[in-house]
Amino acid sequence: MARGRSKDSDPIRKKSPEEQTVGLKELADYLGLAPATVSLVINGSSVADTIAPNTKKAILAAARKFNYRPNFFARCLRTRRSFTIGVMVPEVSEGYNVSVLSGIEDHLLQEGYFYFVASHRFQADLIEEYSQLFLHRSVDGLIVVCTPWEHSLPCPVATISCHHGVTGATRILVDHDQAAQLALQHLAELGHRKIAFIKGQKFVPDTEVRWKAITRVAASIGLPISSKLVTQIEENSPSPNLGYKATRDLLVAGEQFTALFAFNDICAMGAIRALHEFGLRVPDDVSVLGFDDIESAAYQTRGLTTVQQPLREMGKTAAQAVLNRIAKGNDADRGPEQILFEPRLVVRETTAPVRQAKVRKTLAEA
């Protein structure tokens, strides 16, 4: 409990407003608490959860009253840390990356860490340059998201959806075999045998890993995959237009299919637009299934059926892994560590049992 003091003995109240610069020790003396206790609460340390709520409330109220601000530079010198984390992503837009970043941000802010974000657009020279720039900025650790990553750095690193095993890095991955099983089993149980697939770009780390999982699972359940029904997006863009163009190409070629499995939710949204323009209803004529379960997937005109990656949790886990290694001291010589997340099928309104295919319009009629 904070102990009250008389106005005459209060070292803070003796100061004029112009002099009202309060240090940690003065604030602790005013509250009648140990400086360490005040520091834990002010800096938002997880250890502060063990401190009584009334005490935390009194500390925060006093800090506001006297406009106390922690001495960041003193903290850095004392701990030999910058309390800054670098985050590297392909780009920042609606979808996968934003959901992962929100999880990273949640944990870093809770632990009092600042962070820098750099977008590399899958350019190899930028990936190399940014990793070095982060080191020159004295970041305490690095989180790498959906990036071709083979670098071993002298600081704690966590990667998300990066499939190379790098010494000293913690890999955060989703179980793609389980994801393929959930998706294909769902479509097979609905009676779909002619399924179109839109693969991701070749430079995206998940693309080949996920496709190999799909082909393995399809073979195991006796589901045929026609090469004529497999297309791949090529452009370096997060736009739904890529899924739109890939689906339209399939339709223009006259390929018949009753379901479509898209590389991600953004791609699936573009695919649905193309199907509608060709006079096909989703899911009456063609079922559509996405991947990721981004926030907007549930709020389309028809909620998108999708394979959910726990993206926020993956981001939070990456941040926890980096901060844990910072706290314990980085061991760059240790082997790669892997944390595998289980996906979940979220069934909404874009998949349905297969029915007799309707006669499709020609391109001229669409």
Q: Tell me the DSSP string of 78-140.
A: HHT---EEEEEES--STTHHHHHHHHHHHHHHHTT-EEEEEE-TT-HHHHHHHHHHHHHTT-S
Residues 114 and 156 in one domain: yes
Tell whether the model's pLDDT for residue 67 goes beyond 80: yes
List residues bridging with 88 in a β-sheet: 118, 144
Residues 283 and 188 in one domain: yes
Task: Quote the domain boundaries for residue 225.
Answer: 176-308
DSSP state of 160: E
Q: Where are the beta strands (DSSP E) in 175-268?
A: 195-199, 230-232, 259-261
Write down the mean pLDDT value for the chain. 86
Please work out, in degrees rounded to the nearest 5, the angle formed at the alpha carbon of residue 300 by the alpha carbons of 299 and 305. 90
Tell whether the model's pLDDT for residue 82 goes beyond 50: yes
pLDDT, mean of residues 66-73: 68
Residues 155 and 271 in one domain: no
Domain-embedded: residue 2: no
Residues 282 and 184 in one domain: yes
Residues 107 and 42 in one domain: no
What distance in Å separates the CA atoms of residue 8 and residue 214, rounded to the nearest whole number? 76
Among 12-16, 48-52, 277-281, the minimum mean pLDDT is found in: 12-16
Residues 170 and 147 in one domain: yes
**pLDDT digit string, tens, across residues 53-63:** 899 899 889 88
Closest listed residue to residue 134, CA positions, set 98, 88, 174? 88
Cα separation values, 56 from 3, 44, 65, 145, Å: 14, 10, 14, 36
The predicted pLDDT at position 303 comes to 96
Tell whether the model's pLDDT for residue 357 goes beyond 60: no
The predicted pLDDT at position 10 comes to 54
What distance in Å separates the CA atoms of residue 36 and residue 166, rounded to the nearest whole number? 38
pTM of the complete model beyond 0.85? no
Residues 170 and 186 in one domain: no
Tell whether the model's pLDDT for residue 242 goes beyond 60: yes
Tell whether the model's pLDDT for residue 46 goes beyond 90: no
Residue 210's identity, in one-letter code, is R
Residues 250 and 303 in one domain: yes
Domain-embedded: residue 361: no
Among 71-80, 148-157, 249-258, the minimum mean pLDDT is found in: 71-80
Residues 103 and 210 in one domain: no
Residues 128 and 230 in one domain: no
Residue 318 main-chain phi, psi, to 5 deg: -60, -45
Q: With beta carbons less than 8 A apart as the criterion, state whether 246 and 267 touch.
A: yes
The number of distinct structural domains making up the chain is 3
What distance in Å separates the CA atoms of residue 207 and residue 162, rounded to the nearest whole number? 11
- With a CB cutoff of 8 Å and minimum separation 6, the contacts of 69 are none
If one counts every other C-beta atom within 10 angstroms of the C-beta of residue 166, the result is 18
Q: With beta carbons less than 8 A apart as the criterion, state whether 306 and 291 touch.
A: yes
Tokens (6 digits) for 78: 């004392």
Residues 180 and 300 in one domain: yes
Tell whether the model's pLDDT for residue 240 goes beyond 60: yes
- With a CB cutoff of 8 Å and minimum separation 6, the contacts of 101 are 87, 89, 92, 117, 145, 315
Residues 180 and 304 in one domain: yes
Between 36 and 299, the higher pLDDT residue? 299
List residues bridging with 89 in a β-sheet: 119
Tokens (6 digits) for 73: 């530079």
Domain-embedded: residue 360: no
List residues bridging with 172 in a β-sheet: 160, 339
Domain-embedded: residue 364: no
Q: What is the CATH number of the domain that holds 63?
A: 1.10.260.40
Handedness of CA 214, 220, 222, 227 (dihedral sign): positive
